[in-house]
Structures are given as structure tokens and as C-alpha cells.
A and B are shown apart, each in its own frame.
Chain A
């Protein structure tokens, strides 16, 4: 009996090591092919499951990127938030849709705001988060366990061990310089270790990002218009907020997008090292500047066209107390179509500077996205040249936690249109789980797909 146990133990450990090496080898031998497992989720009727897909995609106002975020449980089950229904869906290890739980509402086991799945704690509890930082924990069958509400906005979560969750939070701090009557807003970013069972929170890192939110990069004029979209092309770096990567071992990294600097912090929040990303960022060209100008111009024209189609806002209505107005008084409709038109027309007169390449930051950020695999490697996605028309070939740089460069490669996927963001592209146990669109299909394209990683 002991021999059998020992044999199984050795087999488990060695297979893990072989597997671990294999993933690294695949990165090194790249390009990395993503081959879909055809049997995965084959019992699902995707058209029925995702029947509201077209209602939620490409919204004009801040499209919900995490509408169908996924996380992978240790047993290979997948939890997906189906935001527009206030539901969490569970798929089995074979990709079959099993059940859904949660509804819109104010009860403990309901979601008052749109929920996002964030992780699995100790292999036992899946949890969600919402815009008001309400964390709701459920067991793996969807039974409500407990709630924890935090006092700050949250961004990322990484369960570690013994009920601990590493998370990043942020708040805007209003600042007022002496002698100035215009306030600024600084962003205070914190890294917190939260324990599910005790509810204890400990801030292990805190930093102010000075003037992060002052619209220095906008085409802004106090008297006329506020228009965001300038300077950094096409606005990806406007916030200059550093990217924080939370690691499963309780450490975290802070990456500077503008200069490629990476700092590593230990479990206590103390800086333990750092490195420079070995990436040459894409330079902004005159052609990029001209295209950005035209893009902004066309968008403003579209804005005017949309506003013109709005109802006439000169007709006043009786207030119900909305937008801080006094109930019962006559107020104008909102938004004011004439104001939008006026602002957009005004903005059109101020965008000439966008044609000048010298107006922009000289290069794009060092990376577009970062995804960590379950071996602790960072896949740092570069921005790629627009001439590379094949949308599924992306450069990847893999690092281990200590910043050692392992490989530079690319992903290739022939059948699906992938989106490389950590919410819809998750690497777990040698596979990629993705919410992706099937190419060349006439019906519902959206799928939950499991890919084998190979060369």
C-alpha cells in the first residue's frame, strides 16, 4: 500500500515537473499554437446560452470588457459572470454548462450591481466583486457563504493560501495646492491582504500617483471643451497608472508602462528587486498621428450626428429630483443636445495639433497586457505593428517572477478570434481557457473554448 502511495506521489510530482518544463519549452520553441479541444463544451447550445451577446457587445458607452469574465477552479470547472443577467454560470471540467446562480436584488445571495467573478479561495469558495466593492462568496455549488464589503474601489484579486486574498484597491484623493483654486485628483493605489474567514484587511503597499488624473493629455480649455484623446496615441497612456501584477505566492510586481521599469515586492510589501523590460516600444510615426487626427475628427462628427438625432431638449420637463435638481421645478432634458453639438463643433476647431507627431509621446507603452500563467511566468504582450494584419499573432515575452527573460514568442490561433486580456484568456494547467469568437461561422460566434498549447 505504502509503495502504491509513494509511486502515485512520485508520479504526480514528476508529471508536474515534466509538464512545467513542457510549458516553458513550448514558449522557448515558439510560435505557440493554440489548438481547440473539439469535445470541450460540445454539448452546449451556444446560441441559447449567449443569446444576449449582441445586446452587450460594442456598446458606445464604455463597453463592458468583463461581461463574460472567466476563472478556472482547481478541478477544471469554469465560472463565468454573465453580467447583464446578474448571474454566475458554472461549466464542468468538460465545458458543459452545469448551472447558474445569483439574481439581481438586495438579499445576501443576490447581486445589487453587476457582478464579476474574481477567483477561487482555498479551492472551496468562488467570489464576486462589484463596483461598490461588495465581495460575495459562494461554495463551488453556488450556495451563498458570506459577504465582505470594502471601503475602496477594487481592481484585481489573487487568492493565495489559508483564506488570504491579495487585492489592489484605489481611491481618488482630492488635492488642493495652496494659492490655486482648481483641485487636482491623485490616485491612491493600495495592495491589501484580506482574509476571507476573519475579514481582516492589511494594507501592505500604498502609493499616490501624482496628478494621475489631471487631464494633462487632453485637449482641454477651461472656457470651452473637455475632450480626452490627445497626446498619447490613441490615449492608452493618459492615466499613466502603473500596472500591478499579483502573484499566487503573495508577492506582487509594479510595472511602469511608459518606461518599462518593473519593481518586485515581497509578501510584506517591501521592494525586493526589479528589472527593466527588454522590449523596444513601437515609435509613433507621422502616419499614426494623421490617422489619429482623422479618427478623432470622424468621431466628433459622429457625435454631432448622434446628438442631432436626439429629442429636442428645449422642451422642459418637471423634475423628479434627478441630477440634484429640486423636485417639481422645470428642468431641461439631459443631456442637452445643443450643448453636445456645440462642444463637439468647438472641439473640431482644436484638433489640428493632433496632426503633429511631435505632440505625442514618442512611443507606445512598453506592453499592452500582462497575463500570468499558473507556473508563475509573466506573459508580457507587446504592441505590434499595424502592418501585421493577422490579428492572432502577438508577440509575447515570458518572464519568471524574478525577471529572467525566458522566451519571446507569439500565439497563433487559426480557428478563433482571441482577445488577450486576463479576463477572457486564462492559462491553467497547461491549457488556455478563453472566451473567443469562432471564425467563419454564420450563427452565434461566441464560445467558451479550451485550447491545448503546443508548437
Chain B
């Protein structure tokens, strides 16, 4: 399995990955030093955020969330002072994301490459291409601009 990006690590942590991939990713993270480091970092971030907003400080949501039991008719009016803790928590989270020291620039993939890829394969006799071993290789620059596309065979 290839190394995981920070985003994929976060998705893994948030269990947003397809179940079939979870085991492979888990195995990879365990074995790969780089990904393992990224994973630990992501866990630390999540725990920090959880702590700030008064949630569980572990990666597992072990505390069951009770069902809403207050009758709607008895619902108390939400006053401003009750909202203040949440506003503070939200601000802290925002500051964390804004000033994280290890923040690395993550480049945006513009869809040009995807469209080019689609245009290349769409409507073609793919079995023939399979036999001819024909495919398209696309090189992008740092900004995701396509700087060259070249077809094998």
C-alpha cells in the first residue's frame, strides 16, 4: 500500500474510509514510520481539540451520548451566557488551525487532470487499449496545472 497523506490519515482516524480499506490502512500505518508519525500527530490534534471543547480526550468516543429526554414543551430558553463557552471553544479551535506550527501547504488538485483523463478514455475501445498497453500519463506542476500529458505506445 502506498503512503498515506495527512488527509487520508485524518479520514482513517475519523472512520470515513471504506471498511474494506481500514484493515490495510491500519496495517500500513503500523509498519510505516512516516505514516505512523502522521497518525500520532493526528491523534494528538484530535485529542487536543476534544480536550478544548470538553469532550473525550481519547480517540475513541467511549462515553455514550444520552438521548434527548427533555420534553419539547419544557425546553428552556437559550440565553447568551450559556453560549459563551461554545463560542470560546470554537475560537480556540480556529486559532489552533490558524497557527499550527507544523502546518504544511497542501496543494489543490485542479480538475484539469481529471477532465483530461476522462476525455482520453471516454468513448474509446478500452479493450483495444488494454491490448495495446496504451494509457495516458499526466504531469502536473506544484499548483496542479497540467504541464505535460503523454500517451504510452
Contacts and interface: CB of A to CB of B under 8 A. Distances in A.
B123 A239 contact: no
B114 to A, nearest CB: 4
Contacts of B129: 234, 236
A241 B131 contact: no
A60 B150 contact: yes
Interface string B64-81: 000000000000000000
B2 A340 contact: no
Interface string A275-309: 00000000000000001100110111011001100
Interface stretch (A32-40, A139-147, A175-183, A196-204): A175-183
A302 B135 CA distance: 14
Contacts, number: 167
B139 interface: yes
A84 interface: no
Interface residues of B, number: 49
B130 A386 contact: yes
A62 B116 contact: yes
B125 interface: yes
B86 interface: no
Contacts of B126: 236, 365, 368-369, 383
A254 interface: no
Given A180-B7, A182-B108, A421-B125, A339 B141 contact: yes
Contacts of B7: 180, 182
Given A65-B123, A295-B153, A420-B127, A180 B137 contact: no
Interface in B118-153: 118-131, 133-141, 144, 147-153
B131 A386 contact: yes
B104 interface: yes
Given A222-B5, A238-B117, A303 B128 contact: no
A222 B106 contact: yes
Interface in B1-27: 1-2, 5, 7, 10
B111 A302 contact: no
A208 interface: no
A381 B127 contact: yes
**Chain B binding surface SS class:** mixed
B107 interface: yes
B111 A213 contact: yes
A226 B127 contact: no
**Residue among B5, B140, B148 with the most chain A CB within 10 A?**
B148
Nearest to B2: A353
A291 B133 contact: yes
B58 interface: no
A278 B30 CA distance: 39
Given A340-B139, A343-B141, A384 B114 contact: no
Contact of B135 (A295, A343, A422): A295
Given A226-B113, A384-B127, A302 B150 contact: yes
Contact of B139 (A214, A236, A291, A344): A344
A172 B139 contact: no
B136 to A, nearest CB: 7
Contacts of B148: 303, 306-307, 335, 340, 343-344
A362 B55 CA distance: 41
Nearest to A59: B151
A92 interface: no
B75 to A, nearest CB: 27
A303 B136 CA distance: 11
B109 interface: yes
7 contacts: A213-B114, A222-B106, A228-B113, A234-B152, A241-B118, A299-B150, A344-B139
Sorted from nearest, which 6 A-B pairs have the closest CB atoms? A226-B140, A368-B127, A368-B126, A213-B114, A234-B135, A419-B125
Given A65-B122, A229-B135, A234-B133, 20 more contacts: A60-B150, A63-B120, A63-B151, A180-B7, A180-B10, A213-B111, A222-B5, A222-B107, A235-B135, A236-B126, A239-B121, A295-B152, A296-B137, A303-B150, A336-B141, A353-B2, A369-B125, A369-B127, A391-B128, A421-B123
